[in-house]
A and B are shown apart, each in its own frame.
Chain A
Amino acid sequence: MEKLKYALYTGCTARESTPELLMSTQAIADKLGIELVLLDEASCCGASHLQDFDDMLSLVLNARNIAYAEKLGLTMVTICNTCQLNTAVTKDRLDSDPELKAKVNEKLSEVGLEYKGTSEVKHFLYALQDEYGYERIAKAVTNPIEDINVASFYGCHNIRPSHLQHKTNGGENPYKPTSLDNLVIALGGNAVEYESKNKCCGFHVELQNPATANRLSGTAMLDAIDQNADMMVTPCPLCHLRMDVQQHNIAKEMGRDIDIPVLHLPQMVGIALGIEPKKLGLHHNVNQTGLKVK
């Protein structure tokens, strides 16, 4: 089978507040034999906030990021749901509106770049599911996560709006997503059934309305805990920042103790593949319950 090769758009958090996400992504790619070319030229995607202030700037910057993947002739993979949405929205708008595309390219031409629309943009989760295949991952498992109840938390921007996301997420049902649960099963774990798996963590109002953010994260986390989850896993570093870093504040808002480890998707895969914890950056996680980092 031909070796899979992608242009990796890391997003900002993987270079700053969630270094473990980049470490673990690269570690599992190495182990699985997937080549990832880092897009070091890429800028921030605007995180769905810049577009509220300056729509054109948001489009131009995202188009520039995609243009670098196009120059490599590779599919762009993202490891942050919000990067995925912003990039995919930009691609969709430019590919369906030649006039808008021309306007954006007029700006990009000033720095010698062009957005063509030739590279696909997909989250790493769906590259693993649809291109690498869970069966192959299951065969590579040396340390199955047996007897562990894992609550998958999907994050909004990978599954909604589905008319856009269905182009690259294998037709994931936003009301009944399965990709992460099936990955948990492929790694030997127990997938926890709980209602909140497709809900919002509230990250985007964390500064202006922390109570809303904490209640949303808290409702989902308590739902997972009440369904006997031993740990949670998410493909989105923004969900992770809330549920791991803000766990204490969330517990305070909800008036209940919350003590549950939250893993990034590649950290969970890495554990099952037998990669040493240090390479997966487990020491960077704030909640260390049960992680036994050496």
Chain B
Amino acid sequence: MSITNENKLVETKKLTLKVFRFNKEINYLPYYQTIQMEVNKDELVLDIMNRIKWEHDGSFSYRRSCRHGICGSCAIKVNQKPTLACKDNVFELVEQFGEELILEPQDKRKAYKDMIIDKETFWNKYDQVQPYLIADIEEFPELENIVSQEDAEKIDEADYCIACGNCFYACPAVEVNDEYIGPMALTKAWRFNADVRDNAHNERLDTLQKLGSGIWDCVKCNECAEACPKELDPIGKITKLHLQTFENERSLNNVATRHAVGFKWSIKKHGILDEGELVRYSEGNFGVIKHIPEAIPMLLRGKLVFPWNMPKSKNLDEIKKLVDITSTAKF
């Protein structure tokens, strides 16, 4: 506890901040600056970044603008947790990580100066999904373009995305696969593919289905859902795009789509999944051959189940019936 100027007791904590420092024009390697700071319970991460700059080192650089969680500029990582600096309270982070906080930019590999990173790739990927309304709307329409409440809800708050990049820079698929367009662009794609006024749904789906870069390359880790400061559940939007490819009868016939569809057939047949058959169905009779090198040690270690030994769920008739009366999806 300490006493403020107004002689009121304010709860404070003494923290050790380890701050990522790097200036691409001067430094060969980044380094961490250690700063001790007494922080009060109402301070946000942005407040402590301001204090680093104002009280400790004027050269410390970071992006900031609105201070209201709308512009998305001040997103950084604190102890690896994607953070919107103007929204996240420091005491709450101390509760999660202890009294040593490590401040780093969203992607250290892209660091330009301290917390400021080069976001060119991020914005290029955003551009790829045509993130705007594509519609033939008359310039002077006679009637209003009314969207019903029900139709508006399909957008599922995807229009609240502030493009802070927290999901993108938390996504492990983005980290290892340069082609993958990532959760932010896909959330934006859903925002327009759920919009009844937009005429380019199928055009977008065709782009987004490409293996290597699109919806089928999401690794389903839920890092994006965890990272989003607006709680928009980007992975949920990716799932909606998957479903839309089937609903619009636009899905391609490839290893990823057959893998999703194969679950239905396998469950209907055995209740539990026939793992071997799923791989064969997904890869095709020729494609499955490439899995022989890992199948051999599995066979030797008793990890393969053959069709004649395939276990089945009890009360399988119930499962078959439920598949028949429930499933409406087409492939």
Residues of A near any B CB (own CB < 8 A)? 12-13, 15-19, 40-44, 46-57, 60-61, 64, 85, 107-108, 110-111, 113, 156-157, 160-163, 173-176, 195, 199-200, 202-205, 207-209, 211-213, 215-216, 219, 245-246, 248-249, 283-286
The answer to whether B243 touches A55 (Cβ under 8 A) is yes
Contacts of B303 in A (CB 8 A): 16-19, 245, 284, 286
Quick one: closest A residue to B78, CB to CB? A175
The answer for the CA separation of A16 and B299 in the assembled complex, in Å, is: 11
**Do B328 and A54 touch across chains, with their CB atoms under 8 A apart?**
yes
Q: Separation in Å of the A236 CB from the closest CB of chain B?
A: 12
Stretch of B28-36, B126-134, B254-262 lying at the A interface: B254-262
Q: List 8 A-B contacts (CB under 8 A).
A: A12-B275, A17-B304, A53-B260, A57-B323, A110-B321, A161-B233, A175-B81, A209-B212
- Are A208 and B323 in touch, CB under 8 angstroms? no
Cα(A248)–Cα(B294), bound, Å: 9
How many Å from the CB of B86 to the closest CB on chain A?
20
- In the complex, the answer to whether A43 meets B271 with C-beta atoms within 8 Å is yes
Q: Which residues of A contact B81 (CB under 8 A)?
A: 175
Bound: A119/B212 CA distance, A? 40
Chain B residues lying within 8 Å of A248, measured Cβ to Cβ, are 293-294
Q: Is the CB of B79 within 8 A of A176?
A: yes
Alpha-carbon separation in the docked complex, A18 to B243 (Å): 30
State which of A12, A47, A195, A208 has its C-beta within 8 Å of the C-beta of B216. Answer: A208
Query: Is the beta-carbon distance between A64 and B273 smaller than 8 angstroms?
Result: no
**Contacts A200-B172, A200-B223; A57 near B264 (Cβ below 8 A):** yes
**Is B217 within 8 A of A209, CB to CB?**
yes
Are B239 and A51 interface neighbours, CB within 8 A? yes
- The reply to whether B328 and A43 form a contact with Cβ atoms under 8 Å apart is no
In Å, the complex CA distance between A48 and B279 comes to 16
B301 within 8 A of A: yes
Residue of A nearest to B240 (CB): A55
Interface residues, chain B, CB within 8 Å of chain A?
79-81, 96-97, 172-173, 176-177, 180, 211-212, 216-223, 225-226, 231, 233, 239, 242-243, 246, 254-257, 259-261, 263-264, 266-267, 271-273, 275, 279, 282-283, 293-294, 297-298, 301-305, 311, 313-315, 317-319, 321-323, 325-329, 331
Contacts of B266 in A (CB 8 A): 44
The number of residue pairs between A and B whose CB atoms lie closer than 8 Å in the complex comes to 208
A213 to B168, CA, bound (A): 18
Q: Which residues of B contact A56 (CB under 8 A)?
A: 326-328
Nearest residue in B to A213 (C-beta to C-beta)?
B219
Contact of B311 among A16, A52, A157, A202 (CB under 8 A): A16
Closest chain B residue, CB of each to CB of A63: B322
User: Of B283, B329, B331, which is within 8 A of A207 by CB?
Assistant: B283
| Cα separation A200 to B175 with both chains bound (whole Å) | 11
Q: Please, which residues of chain B bring their CB within 8 A of the CB of A42?
A: 271-272, 313
The minimal Cβ–Cβ distance linking B146 to chain A, given in whole angstroms, is 25
With beta carbons under 8 angstroms apart, the residue of B221, B267, B301, B322 that contacts A111 is B322
Closest 9 CB pairs of A and B: A160-B222, A52-B242, A200-B221, A54-B329, A215-B176, A111-B318, A50-B263, A208-B256, A44-B273
Whether B226 contacts A286 by the Cβ 8 Å rule is no
Shortest Cβ distance from A52 into B: residue: B242
Query: Which of B318, B323, B328 is in CB contact (< 8 Å) with A113?
Result: B318
Q: In the docked arrangement, what's the CA distance between A40 and B326, Å?
A: 22
Q: How far, in whole Å, are A48 and B222 apart by their CA atoms in the complex?
A: 11
Complex partner residue of B259 from A40, A85, A200, A208, CB under 8 angstroms:
A208
Point out the residues of chain B lying under 8 angstroms from A46, CB to CB: 263, 267
- In the complex, which of the residues B219, B225, B304, B322 contacts A200, with contact meaning CB atoms closer than 8 Å? B219
With A43-B313, A208-B255 known as contacts, the answer to whether A199 contacts B172 (CB < 8 A) is yes
A209 surroundings in chain B (CB, below 8 A):
177, 211-212, 216-217
Known: A17-B275, A55-B243, A245-B298. 10 other contacts (CB 8 A): A12-B273, A17-B304, A42-B272, A44-B267, A53-B246, A57-B264, A162-B226, A176-B97, A200-B223, A208-B254
Which chain B residues border A48 with CB–CB below 8 Å? 220
Q: Which residue of A lies closest to B80 (CB)?
A: A175
Contact present for A53 and B176 (CB under 8 Å):
no
Taken together as a complex, chains A and B put the C-alpha atoms of A240 and B140 apart, in Å, by 61
Find out whether the CB atom of B322 lies under 8 angstroms from the CB atom of A212.
no
Q: Is the CB of A16 within 8 A of B294?
A: no
- The reply to whether A208 and B217 form a contact with Cβ atoms under 8 Å apart is yes
Among candidates A13, A60, A211, residue contacting B322 with C-beta atoms closer than 8 Å: A60
